[in-house]
Structure 1
Amino acid sequence: MKQETKEKLDYFVEKYNNSTFIKPDPIGLVHRFSEQKDIEIFGLIIATLSWGNRKSIIKSGENLLKIMDNEPFKFVKNFNENELNLLNDFKHRTFNAFDLQFFILRLQKIYKRFGSLEELFAPDFKKNKNSFEAIVNFRKEFLGEHHEIRTKKHVANPIKGSAAKRINMFLRWMVRKDDKGVDFGIWNKISPSKLSCPLDIHSGRSAREFNLLKREQNDWKAVEELDISLRKLDYKDPVKYDFALFGMGIESKEF
């Protein structure tokens, strides 16, 4: 890895990994909360909704916060199936009220069983080198034995090749720790060194421009290839380079 490449990427990490990144990004909505369970729950849902124009994502997130009365954990904890009417007007692209109800009810069961999302993800990270198994087992637990076909498309499946961009982004938010104020770093049982980069069309294009990634498809194999390259740059905190790759990729356009 050329030192020039690392220096350039480090420069862009500093440029984008700061508080100015928060307001125009969906993560800004999550920063309204200070309690771990509120951050986890709303973080997971807004990450799931994060495809399309960022202004549209933020608008949908604002609508969801109104439904939840700005108390995500309390809303999830007390929600019951007879309250579906509360969700009737919610829709973000193909994610509708039925999907939202399923997410809320499954989160309710997960918190009853595990106490937090960290406790669900952490064991698989301890046993493996990256996020693959943790995401696979999260998906299995989250969907449960009975789920609608339409809803499972909203939970990434790396077994079928998905890059799992949104879940890896959520994991970055929860695990990474620094003094920049963007990522939350509220989980202590997962090492940032094992995180995988949230790969999409923008970060993928930047990664190829810097010769960090050769594979043309933005799939799980590409994630693993990019993981290797980023760990050569910083083995303790490889996904900090997501700020550089993603930031450069959208500098002149919305994702």
Structure 2
Amino acid sequence: MTSTELKDFLDEKADLYNRPDFITTDPIQIPHSFTVKEDIEIAAFIAAILAWGNRKMIIRSGQRFMEIMGNSPYDFVMTHKEEHLETLNTFVHRTFNGQDAKTFIKALRNIYQNHDGLEAVFNQSQSNGNQVESISNFKRIFFEIPHLPRTTKHISDPLNKSAAKRINMMLRWLVRQDNKGVDLGIWKSINPAHLSCPLDVHSGNVARKLGLLTRKQNDAKALVELDTNLRLLDPQDPVKYDFALFGLGVFEGF
């Protein structure tokens, strides 16, 4: 199909899936449960970090994590005492365990106490029209507290060839605002034009079938190629096409 036909096709599919009923089957429902900015962004971060595997299992794990924090994530992060973290000992989601969970809570408190919060950290290294340096900088700051080496695997670094799918998904949730009710759009300091598509097996396979991606691996180089092509279709809001690619792959078996 021509570039115009491709754009029309993807615009139609993005609009089909970028609707409130999408929330009921997606991990984005976790941050949608909150109204305070800090609660929303912490819930979004945790839900995104857990977002691999079966979607129902992801949602259950995200909800359990919120329940352990008394459904007040920011208050728990900022006021917890060491004994409060013991409730996380039994938390497990795939390879993310209780020790990882406790480290994440401590790292989040450090970010809010000493770095002005999650949005400020991601806004520190905005450059080159993408989020590569800001995500890498976030990981560096996140793990400046004492931690086990194994825990670092749960946050990807695009400077280490990763497509950083889960962090890019969280950024889509928190930055995009199109008044359609799905993405939360509470971070105003980051330009949606600089976001990257959350690249996974589904979106990657669909992108290849549509000629948006030729690289076989779903890595940082593939993400650059996909982002470049999506920005040709919509320079101001390229990651809206994540809805189209994901929907075509998961719901339509494209």
Q: TM-score range by the shorter chain?
A: over 0.9
Compute the displacement of 1:66 (Å): 1.4
Distance in 2, matches of 1:178 and 1:62, equals 26
Equivalent residue number for residue 194 of structure 1: 194
Equivalent residue number for residue 218 of structure 2: 218
Equivalent residue number for residue 32 of structure 2: 31
Deviations 1:155-185 (A, max 9, x none): 1021221110000000001100101111010
Compute the displacement of 1:89 (Å): 1.9
Q: Secondary structure at the match of 1:153?
A: helix
Give identity over the alignment, percent.
51
Equivalent residue number for residue 89 of structure 1: 90
Equivalent residue number for residue 155 of structure 2: 155
Decide which moves more: 73-82 or 7-16. 73-82
Compute the displacement of 1:227 (Å): 0.8
Write the letter of the residue equivalent to 1:211.
Answer: G
Decide which moves more: 87-96 or 199-208. 87-96
Q: Secondary structure at the match of 1:213?
A: coil
Gaps of 5+ in 2: none
Distance in 2, matches of 1:136 and 1:115, equals 17
Write the letter of the residue equivalent to 1:214.
Answer: T
Equivalent residue number for residue 229 of structure 2: 229
Q: Secondary structure at the match of 1:211?
A: coil
Gaps of 5+ in 1: none
Equivalent residue number for residue 103 of structure 2: 102
Write the letter of the residue equivalent to 2:117.
Answer: S
Equivalences for residues 231-246 of structure 1 within 5 A? 231-246=231-246
Equivalent residue number for residue 7 of structure 1: 8
Write the letter of the residue equivalent to 1:183.
Answer: D
Write the letter of the residue equivalent to 2:71.
Answer: N
What is the RMSD of the two structures over their aligned residues, measured on CA atoms?
1.2
Distance in 1, matches of 2:156 and 2:222, equals 15
Kindly indicate whether the alpha-carbon contact (under 8 Å) linking 2:27 and 2:59 is maintained by their aligned counterparts in 1: yes
Write the letter of the residue equivalent to 1:251.
Answer: F
Deviations 1:80-111 (A, max 9, x none): 33333211221111111100000000000000
Equivalent residue number for residue 141 of structure 1: 141
Deviations 1:48-69 (A, max 9, x none): 0000001101111121121111
Q: Secondary structure at the match of 1:41?
A: helix
| Residue 174 of structure 1 pairs with residue 174 of structure 2 | yes
| Residue 114 of structure 1 pairs with residue 111 of structure 2 | no
Write the letter of the residue equivalent to 1:2.
Answer: S
Deviations 1:106-134 (A, max 9, x none): 00000012222111111312x22111001
Equivalent residue number for residue 62 of structure 2: 61
Compute the displacement of 1:252 (Å): 5.1
Q: Number of matched residues?
A: 252
Distance in 1, matches of 2:21 and 2:194, equals 27
Distance in 2, matches of 1:171 and 1:136, equals 14
Provide the TM-score with structure 2 as the length reference. Answer: 0.96
Kindly indicate whether the alpha-carbon contact (under 8 Å) linking 1:79 and 1:105 is maintained by their aligned counterparts in 2: no
Compute the displacement of 1:145 (Å): 5.8
Distance in 2, matches of 1:205 and 1:21, equals 21
Deviations 1:136-163 (A, max 9, x none): 1001000116421110000102122111
Q: Secondary structure at the match of 1:185?
A: coil
| Residue 132 of structure 1 pairs with residue 114 of structure 2 | no
Change (3 A) 1:93 1:239: same
Provide the TM-score with structure 1 as the length reference. Answer: 0.96
Q: Secondary structure at the match of 1:95?
A: coil
**Runs in 1 of length 4+ with deviation above 2 angstroms?**
80-84
